[in-house]
Amino acid sequence: MKRWWARRSLRDRLMLGILLPVLGFIAINTGVLYRQALRAADTAYDRTLLATAKSIGDLLEVTIEGDKPRLKSTLLYSALEPFEADNRSRLYYRVTGFDGETVSGFEALAPWHGKLPQKGPYAALVDFYDDRYQGTPVRVAVLLQPVTWATGQGMATIQVAETLELRETLARSLLLDTLWRQAVMLVLIAGVVVFVVQRATRPVRELSLRLRSRAEGDLAPLEDDGVPRELQPLVAATNHLMGRLSHLLDHQKRFVRDASHQLRTPLAVLKAQVQSAQRGDVAPQQALSEIGDTVDRATLLANQMLALAKVEQIRQQADAKALDWAEIVRAVALDLSALIVEHQLDFDIETQAAPVHAHEWALRELSRNLIHNAIKHGPVGGRLSIHLLADRHHAALTVSDSGAGISAEQRQRLFQPFAAGSARSGSGLGLAICHEIVTTLGGQIELENRVNHGTVEGLDATVRLPLARAAR
């Protein structure tokens, strides 16, 4: 049933959800109306039975045989014909005397042994019940008729039974009339429901048509003018999804464009170096060294470009864990210790526990790029300081070198891809990767010259990320 319901359209669900309860209500209402009509019909025909019984009671006489009164009825059956409607129902009666003897009528009619109702609808000692006469269902009215004579009084029992043909005919007529009226009402309600549902679901169909008729690659936001309030969250969610898809496609296009552009130069240089080695223009050892340097630069460039693309992939994921940034910073510094020793740097590191929500690769790549840039751009024998401090809401990593710093113009573009500080300083992707990672993690990154008495003593690269408990 659930699978069947899940396959129904919104229009079918609305119509079924409205029409089925209405159909059930109409069915219940039809039954109630039919029962009420039957009770009204029974009341009307029961009144006729009572009138017949009273007419019989008016014709009762009392005779004295010896010293004992005897009840006598002079009623002829032909006198009952006016009470037989349409010659379709038959009347039977029985008059019982003071001692339970049958005075007149049909002896096959079973005697009454019931009780009078405590509060009946008529001002008479009468009771109505259903019985059978010679196998035929009948409706019986029993009337206790007081009879008086000169020396006393007694109680006669008058039973009048009527067959049910007329009542059944009336019941069928009432049922058909009720069903006909309810069917007409159901058809009218169904027509109104179908019309209203069609009008109500038209915006959904129009929205679907607008989406299907769009050109391939068209991710422009949908207009919500004229869209019902109930559909506005759907339009907003669709526009949000289209925005994300557009961003992903733009990033993919930019990555392909940058990759093709940036890798073309080292590959061309590598080809030229190979051709030069083949011609014998340079010594084999020198040629191999130059080729190795070119391959290393191309490998570094490819790895950085893949790292930049991976940042976008991480941005779409929501499974980041709380990691201690201090442990990752120390591990990265240990990995780069050989390079620090090679540059003979005066190195110091200070860290505090700093739990942040992030992927381990992102924190490691961020820390590695910042520290590696400080090593590469600092002078040999200079100073390298790493400080990771945490307050109530943020963790701040500061990597300080003793290089020449950066100009105001460089500060504006160093976070852009392929914007290196100088032509020989690298591909210009390190700080761009850092900026993308920090933006993804909801933090900030700053580059500030460290100035003392007007002299630049180095560069401070500071990254602030929200702590895990603050992020929650």
Query: How does pLDDT run across 8-25, given as a tens digit for each residue?
Result: 677 777 888 888 888 888
Phi and psi at 273, nearest 5°, equal: -65, -40
pLDDT band at 384 (very low <50, low <70, confident <90, very high): very high
Average pLDDT score over residue span 114-132:
82
- Residue 394 identity (one-letter amino acid): H
**At residue 84, does pLDDT exceed 50?**
yes
> Between residues 309 and 47, which one has the greater pLDDT?
47
> Between residues 366 and 297, which one has the greater pLDDT?
366
**At residue 46, does pLDDT exceed 70?**
yes
CATH for 317-471?
Answer: 3.30.565.10
pLDDT band at 388 (very low <50, low <70, confident <90, very high): very high
Query: Which pLDDT belongs to residue 81?
Result: 56
- The mean of the pLDDT values for the chain is 80
Query: Which pLDDT belongs to residue 462?
Result: 92
**At residue 278, does pLDDT exceed 90?**
no
> Between residues 103 and 423, which one has the greater pLDDT?
103
Q: CA–CA separation, 53 vs 95, rounded Å?
A: 9
Query: Which pLDDT belongs to residue 463?
Result: 92
**At residue 282, does pLDDT exceed 80?**
no
Average pLDDT score over residue span 66-76:
73
